[in-house]
Structure 1
Amino acid sequence: MNTIPYRIHEIKTTQFATFPEKYINGGEVSISTTFHFALKKDIPNVLCSVEVNYSQDENLLLIAQVDCVFAIEKDAMSNLQQEGKISVTFLRYLGTIATGTLRGIIHAKTEGSVLNGLVLPPLNLNKVINQDFIFDKSTEVAK
């Protein structure tokens, strides 16, 4: 993979809710994580959206989502468009940054609550993000 010049353009917490009253101390907490990538053809930005759900005994304890927009250098984006894809390796890299960002948001927003000890664990993004992002030339937003 060639180096892709980028910078973090925007970070937005798009969803955040906690339900600490449903937390049972000592009970097992499950975490589910979802990643979504998108872009618009004429803007050299890549969106990486990460959502996590913490639940216990089928009760939602916390839901959080962050959108990280990465500005890609114009010539690099042109090269990616010519290739017709963004490599899974680069997507995992962006996912790592977005996951760390979300981990910090969760920590800051739960500070002082019983949910603060539920730290988002490290994720093996090799298992979660497992395919290239293929440009869809028929629509404005690639899938």
Structure 2
Amino acid sequence: MNKITIEQFAILSTELQNSGPINLESNVKFSASIETRNVAVRMRFTFSQSNSPLLVLELVCYFELEEASWKSLYKGGEIIFPKDFLAHMAVHTVGTARGILFCKTENTPLNSLILPPLNVADMITEDFVIKKDN
């Protein structure tokens, strides 16, 4: 991991109800840069309660690959990032999000919000493929 950006952080409400579940919506997207041999993992988390949004966190973690590792991903005219490899990077991104969430909500009622264990392998159902420009 060579860079982290917080694309969005918004506390939309600090009104936590004493009862009722907290809902979490999450998604993950991938992109890559051939020039810098970077893979970007973008994750977004939205916490809500009783259909009222509480907090949104969107971050991007960038991972730089060594040249030999990058070249091993080339298959014909494509670069194929296996889903297991993507899941590995996503796990690190979730851990980073946990730290950001804790720091950004410190001394607020939302500091009790925690990213639960997420099975990112279930979120990533296929390899990420980009066409290599010749």
Report the TM-score, using the length of structure 1 for normalisation. Answer: 0.85
Corresponding position of 2:54: 61
Percent of aligned positions that are identical: 30
| Equivalent residue in structure 1 for 2:89, among 74, 85, 94 | 94
Q: 1:137, CA displacement in angstroms?
A: 3.6
Matched residue of 1:121: which SS? coil
Matched residue of 1:21: which SS? coil
Corresponding position of 2:106: 111
Q: 1:82, CA displacement in angstroms?
A: 3.3
2:10 is the alignment partner of 1:17: yes
| Equivalent residue in structure 1 for 2:33, among 26, 40, 57 | 40
Q: Are the counterparts in 2 of residues 22 and 59 from structure 1 also a CA contact under 8 Å?
A: no
Q: Distance in 2 between matches of 1:25 and 1:110?
A: 18
Return 5+ residue gaps in structure 2 as ranges: none
Q: Distance in 2 between matches of 1:88 and 1:125?
A: 10
Q: Are the counterparts in 1 of residues 13 and 53 from structure 2 also a CA contact under 8 Å?
A: no
Q: Distance in 1 between matches of 2:46 and 2:14?
A: 16
Aligned CA-pair RMSD: 1.4
Q: Distance in 2 between matches of 1:115 and 1:21?
A: 6
Matched residue of 1:68: which SS? strand
Q: 1:24, CA displacement in angstroms?
A: 1.7
Which is richer in strand? 2
Mapping of residues 63-82 of structure 1, within 5 Å: 63-82=56-75
Alpha-carbon displacement from aligned partner over 1:65-122 (angstroms, at most 9, x marks no partner): 1100000001211221236301111100000000000011001111111111110001
2:129 is the alignment partner of 1:129: no
Q: Distance in 1 between matches of 2:114 and 2:24?
A: 10
Q: Are the counterparts in 1 of residues 40 and 61 from structure 2 also a CA contact under 8 Å?
A: yes
Report the TM-score, using the length of structure 2 for normalisation. Answer: 0.91
| Equivalent residue in structure 1 for 2:19, among 16, 26, 51 | 26
Q: Distance in 1 between matches of 2:57 and 2:82?
A: 26
Runs of 4+ in 1 over 3 A off after TM superposition: none
Matched residue of 2:116: which SS? coil
